[in-house]
Amino acid sequence: MIGFDFDYYRPSSIEEAVSVYQRLEGQGRHPVYLSGSTEFITFARVGLMCSGAVIDLKGIPECRMLAAGEREMTFGAALTLSELDDSKAFPLLGDTGAGIADRTSRNKITLGGNVCSRLIYKEAVLPLLLTDSDVVVAGSSGIRRVPISRLFDREMRLGRGEFLVQFIVGSSYRSLPYASVKKRKASAIDYPVVTVTALAAPQGVRYAFSGLCAFPFRSEAVERALNERGLPPEERIRLAAGMLPEPILSDVKASADYRELVWRLTLTDVMEALES
């Protein structure tokens, strides 16, 4: 049971969502946007999240859009991870999303909700980082389309009252070889010890990670080290380890030493697969 009351709004357009937010914010109700609402429900139940009003984005057609055109693919933020996987529109995104939680939960968990999750993993963002996707964001000053590198730094940096509408990915990325490998500690359903995603672009292999540090990331310095093809893979990984944006995470799931070992082994396999 959720121990506090809130009002529920389900706007059917972007404009309506923005204006409902502004009105509720003006009334001091601290509204929150929801799409899958799984995290909101589980956090609210134990008092980790509280709000006087929630705005469910699932009724907005743009947030539910899934399109694969010749130049661009569009993924609405309120699409579920199961829908993305089943559509086969973009296998790197579908496969990475399919590693999150379990199938029944993925029938409800959404792309936007996972990327904006308060948890540290946000694995669905990895393919979006690898493909330099654009993010369509809506707020009181209108709708803007921004490169993900300008919005995502450890977490999605949205302005007050803004929400994610869509991610737009170049269609050429669809046919590039990729790897998406999630290493868990014990059971088949769990948060990652590390997740390594990689995409073999013409200029070199791109890499993005979750679980390694306390946030998901793609780093130019790490990528440069891993693409020093003149060096053996172990040496490149050693160099990359020295360039991580933050010391490796150590928590109840895995010590930093264990995480690093799993990361090195996984990365070795991925490099071998994508460089051959």
Partner 1 sequence: MRLEWRINGEGRSADIRPADLLLDVLRESFGLTGAKPGCRNGDCGACTVMANGLPMKSCLMLAVEAAGQDIVTIEGLANAPAQRAFIEMFAFQCGYCTPGFILNVHALSLAHPQADEATVRSWLQSNICRCTSYEEIREAVYSVLGSARGTIDATNG
The option from partner 1, ligand FAD, none interacting with 87 (CB < 5 to 8 A, set by class) reads none
Q: Is 109 an interacting residue with respect to ligand FAD (CB under 6 A)?
A: yes
**List of residues 6+ apart from 117 with CB closer than 8 A:** 39
Type of residue found at 83:
E
DSSP string for residues in 11-36: -SSHHHHHHHHHHHHHTT---EEESS
Q: Least Å distance between CB 259 and partner 1?
A: 23
Query: Which residues from 58-87 bind ligand FAD, rule CB under 6 A?
Result: 77
Q: Which two tokens stand for residue 211?
A: 């679980």
**List of residues 6+ apart from 94 with CB closer than 8 A:** 84, 85, 86, 87, 88
Query: Which residues on neighbouring strands pair with residue 207, listed in sequence order?
Result: 198
Q: Is 205 an interacting residue with respect to partner 1 (CB under 8 A)?
A: no
Q: Is 21 an interacting residue with respect to ligand FAD (CB under 6 A)?
A: no
Nearest-angstrom CA–CA distance, 18 and 25: 10
Please select the residue that binds partner 1; options are 38, 96, 197, 210, rule is CB under 8 A.
Answer: 38
Q: Is 45 an interacting residue with respect to partner 1 (CB under 8 A)?
A: yes
The option from ligand FAD, partner 1, none interacting with 117 (CB < 5 to 8 A, set by class) reads ligand FAD
**List of residues 6+ apart from 22 with CB closer than 8 A:** 140, 161
How far CA 158 is from CA of 42, 139, 162, in Å, comes to: 23, 9, 6
Please select the residue that binds ligand FAD; options are 33, 75, 209, 263, rule is CB under 6 A.
Answer: 33
Q: Least Å distance between CB 187 and partner 1?
A: 9
Query: Which residues from 142-171 bind ligand FAD, rule CB under 6 A?
Result: 163-164
For helices 233-241 and 256-275, the axis angle rounded to 10 degrees is 140
Tell me which stretch binds ligand FAD (CB under 6 A): 20-28, 107-115, 196-204, 228-236: 107-115
Nearest-angstrom CA–CA distance, 268 and 198: 12
Query: Which residues on neighbouring strands pair with residue 53, listed in sequence order?
Result: 7
Nearest-angstrom CA–CA distance, 118 and 122: 8
Please select the residue that binds ligand FAD; options are 9, 191, 217, 263, rule is CB under 6 A.
Answer: 191
Label the pairing between strands 72-76 and 163-170: antiparallel
Q: Is 104 an interacting residue with respect to partner 1 (CB under 8 A)?
A: yes
Tell me which stretch binds ligand FAD (CB under 6 A): 112-120, 231-239, 248-256, 266-274: 112-120
Q: Is 8 an interacting residue with respect to partner 1 (CB under 8 A)?
A: yes
Q: What residues make contact with partner 1 under the rule CB under 8 A?
A: 1-2, 4-8, 37-38, 41-42, 44-45, 54, 56, 58, 82, 98, 101-105, 107-108, 188-189
Q: What residues make contact with ligand FAD under the rule CB under 6 A?
A: 32-40, 57, 77, 100-102, 105, 109-110, 112-114, 116-119, 121-123, 163-164, 191
